[in-house]
Chain A
């Protein structure tokens, strides 16, 4: 019985939150990795582009709510996402046309493109803050919990409760669905294959008649979908605040590089690696040990490796270790 309690404890405080957070990071990391693989630069505007997607979703959600449309138990935002995706893609294509294309055509070094993306970051931040403001916003409606801690306790008779929020289940489910479609697209369809070829060897791809403009456009379209859904899911699960999205850029970069930048599958797993390690290292295991160890051996302190203040520092340290020992990432990057 105590053993079961211990497992439920870990599920509730580590596994479910880490899986959710990991999914949100994974979407962002695939976004980073796609841009890096095909357009060949580190996009510092990632976090803010996700904030843009989330902002548009919120605006459409408000509109739908004001008209009186809702999805019942599910959050209205799900209905708003498709419209938001279209607008976000539009914004990205616009940015690409007016900003990035010039440098791509001139074959500028990646560092210059990264600098340009900082300019885009400033502008996107301004746009998001001017339109919706910098404050914290919650836009989740519908049924909040799938299982409540109390209900779970009554159901099973255990001491520890397991609470699962519907936003968590939605996040994990949508991420898995989206990522499977993306991998199917990249590996099975002709367009996807042409994108991988372009990422692998640009000149060879051009020789075989692949249209670079089309590849770039499709990359931004996929990026728009990922950014909007990733941003909206993060906002649904936690809350929407432009500044957190900018901060999230750092673990997202860490996830992309840990997984091997340019490798979408690596980025997907990298998201979970970062999320799990952040939560594993900063969780206080005292209660866990109280369940599995006999009374005489119970720990006195919190049994916490690092305080939660160092959550971000954990993922960055992992990144630096990976960069030192396997600069290509765990899953060998640089091929889509």
Chain B
């Protein structure tokens, strides 16, 4: 108990801050911050598995999160029958063509010795494959995108409940991580960082511009929800009774019946949105706790010890007979899969998929700030980082406004400097993130909750 005092204290403060937001701003805001914190926590756990456990630097988090989001679309949207009729056959043929290409490349790699001719041969296979792909797919893509472009214009998905996408998103991300890991994991740390960053940009470019699959920048809106809709809740008898019961003290003070009814209606509207958010919180919290248990078990298992050994001294671990390349690939895939889950959760919560919104600042660098600030190598630290940094990211604007007003208290309301500063309040969050990262890295390089190394 005493050993974990700092963990308990840190989480207590964090929860206290969110409750303060609930009291002073509104419970809606507090819960939406809390939900986003949970999603960020899942992402940081993914990054922490890679960076904290194995020392692998992955700046491609954005790409995996986007793939998770794509999974949510492909799972939950109803299939567009006309589009399948118009071009589905060709698209499936193209998929087969890609599989064929991969097998051809594998065949060449297996059966010929490494030489220049082999390299050129593989290049030729890829180029010819792409040309054939373009020729076969061009017409059907045009046909698919032409079908009712304002609302569909894409193949749609499978029409399953969106919760399945959390698993599928993990598999999508794991698949991408397998390819990226095979290609890039041999690189030195800073090269790996740049390579993964650029690969994630390529993934985003594909998601943004392949309209037949993702609707691209036209966005997919109105995804199905795993939780009830506010409008439906507001008409349900049991829910109204529940709200009335909760607020009975407040309602009893109003004597006029019509006033009472109006107040109750208002409370029901507010309550429905809080209730929906609470449902999400429950779902997300389940995922976070499950992942925390699994990652924590893994960290203290022999496998976790081996990963730390590899992280701390790759050559020694290799000499002890550990397969460093294989383990690196494995942990790269596992971490990315967790990020994929987070991506799917994010799209589930928002109910929409906007490929244009995937920017490295928000989905890669911010997550890294969370991991570093929270404490890499320590799951509790990483989750705390997700909470603390997201909280600051959202609450930066009010804090900045307060500080600016405090510092420019002598200036008049129309002072040019003051007006300019107040206009640029949204950008103070970048300043706070940067300052926070630099201060933590300088004075507490292991993060708020540092990694604990148990010596028995």
Residues of A bordering B, CB below 8 Å: 41-42, 99, 102, 109-112, 114-116, 118-127, 129-130, 133-134, 246, 250, 253-254, 257, 301, 307, 309-310, 312-313, 316-317, 319-320, 323-325, 327
CA distance A102 to B421 in the complex (A): 31
CA distance A13 to B445 in the complex (A): 50
Q: Which residues of B sit under 8 angstroms from A319, Cβ to Cβ?
A: 194-195, 198
Q: Which residues of A sit under 8 angstroms from B441, Cβ to Cβ?
A: 112, 115-116, 119
Task: Find B206's partner among A102, A121, A257, A313 (CB 8 Å cutoff).
Answer: A313
Q: Are B433 and A122 in contact (CB under 8 A)?
A: yes
Q: Which residues of B sit under 8 angstroms from A301, Cβ to Cβ?
A: 138
Residues of B bordering A, CB below 8 Å: 57, 119, 138, 183-184, 187, 189-191, 193-195, 197-199, 201-202, 205-206, 208-209, 361, 365, 368-369, 372, 421, 423-424, 427-431, 433-435, 437-438, 441-442, 445
Q: Which residues of B sit under 8 angstroms from A307, Cβ to Cβ?
A: 209
Task: Find A111's partner among B190, B361, B442 (CB 8 Å cutoff).
Answer: B190
Q: Are A119 and B437 in contact (CB under 8 A)?
A: yes
* Nearest B residue (CB) for A134: B427
By Cβ-Cβ distance, the 10 closest A-B pairs, closest first, are A122-B434, A123-B434, A126-B431, A126-B430, A129-B427, A119-B437, A316-B198, A309-B209, A119-B438, A42-B190
Q: Are A110 and B189 in contact (CB under 8 A)?
A: yes
Q: Are A313 and B205 in contact (CB under 8 A)?
A: yes
Q: Are B187 and A323 in contact (CB under 8 A)?
A: yes
Q: Provide a sorted-by-A list of 20 A–B residue pairs whose CB atoms are within 8 angstroms.
A: A42-B190, A42-B194, A110-B190, A114-B190, A115-B441, A118-B365, A118-B437, A119-B438, A120-B438, A125-B434, A129-B424, A129-B427, A130-B421, A130-B427, A257-B191, A310-B205, A312-B205, A313-B202, A316-B198, A319-B195
* Nearest Cβ on chain B to A154's Cβ, whole angstroms: 39
* Nearest Cβ on chain B to A61's Cβ, whole angstroms: 19
Q: Are A323 and B191 in contact (CB under 8 A)?
A: yes
* Nearest Cβ on chain B to A102's Cβ, whole angstroms: 6
Task: Find A253's partner among B138, B198, B361 (CB 8 Å cutoff).
Answer: B198
Q: Which residues of A sit under 8 angstroms from B438, Cβ to Cβ?
A: 99, 116, 119-120, 123
* Nearest A residue (CB) for B441: A116
CA distance A120 to B361 in the complex (A): 13
Q: Are B365 and A309 in contact (CB under 8 A)?
A: no
Q: Which residues of B sit under 8 angstroms from A254, Cβ to Cβ?
A: 198
Q: Which residues of A sit under 8 angstroms from B372, Cβ to Cβ?
A: 115
* Nearest B residue (CB) for A242: B427
Q: Which residues of B sit under 8 angstroms from A99, Cβ to Cβ?
A: 438
Q: A42-B194, A309-B205, A309-B209 are in contact. Are A126 and B437 (CB under 8 A)?
A: no
Task: Find A327's partner among B191, B201, B421 (CB 8 Å cutoff).
Answer: B191
Q: Are B434 and A114 in contact (CB under 8 A)?
A: no
Q: Are A119 and B434 in contact (CB under 8 A)?
A: yes
Q: Which residues of B sit under 8 angstroms from A121, Cβ to Cβ?
A: 365, 434
Q: Are B197 and A250 in contact (CB under 8 A)?
A: yes
CA distance A123 to B439 in the complex (A): 12
* Nearest Cβ on chain A to B428's Cβ, whole angstroms: 7
* Nearest B residue (CB) for A304: B134
Task: Find B208's partner among A250, A309, A317 (CB 8 Å cutoff).
Answer: A309
* Nearest B residue (CB) for A40: B190
* Nearest Cβ on chain A to B137's Cβ, whole angstroms: 13
Q: Which residues of B sit under 8 angstroms from A114, Cβ to Cβ?
A: 190, 193
CA distance A59 to B199 in the complex (A): 36
Q: Which residues of B sit under 8 angstroms from A253, Cβ to Cβ?
A: 194, 198
Task: Find B199's partner among A116, A123, A320 (CB 8 Å cutoff).
Answer: A320
Q: Which residues of B sit under 8 angstroms from A109, Cβ to Cβ?
A: 189
Q: Are A133 and B424 in contact (CB under 8 A)?
A: yes
Q: A111-B57, A112-B441, A129-B427 are in contact. Are A123 and B190 (CB under 8 A)?
A: no
* Nearest Cβ on chain A to B411's Cβ, whole angstroms: 17
Q: Which residues of B sit under 8 angstroms from A316, Cβ to Cβ?
A: 198-199, 201-202
CA distance A227 to B365 in the complex (A): 22
CA distance A312 to B424 in the complex (A): 30
Q: Which has the most chain B C-beta neighbours within 10 Å: A109, A133, A317, A320?
A: A320
Task: Find B184's partner among A120, A133, A320 (CB 8 Å cutoff).
Answer: A320
* Nearest Cβ on chain A to B125's Cβ, whole angstroms: 14
CA distance A129 to B189 in the complex (A): 31
Q: Are A313 and B365 in contact (CB under 8 A)?
A: no
CA distance A122 to B441 in the complex (A): 14
CA distance A123 to B433 in the complex (A): 8
* Nearest B residue (CB) for A111: B189
Q: A312-B205, A313-B206 are in contact. Are A324 and B431 (CB under 8 A)?
A: no
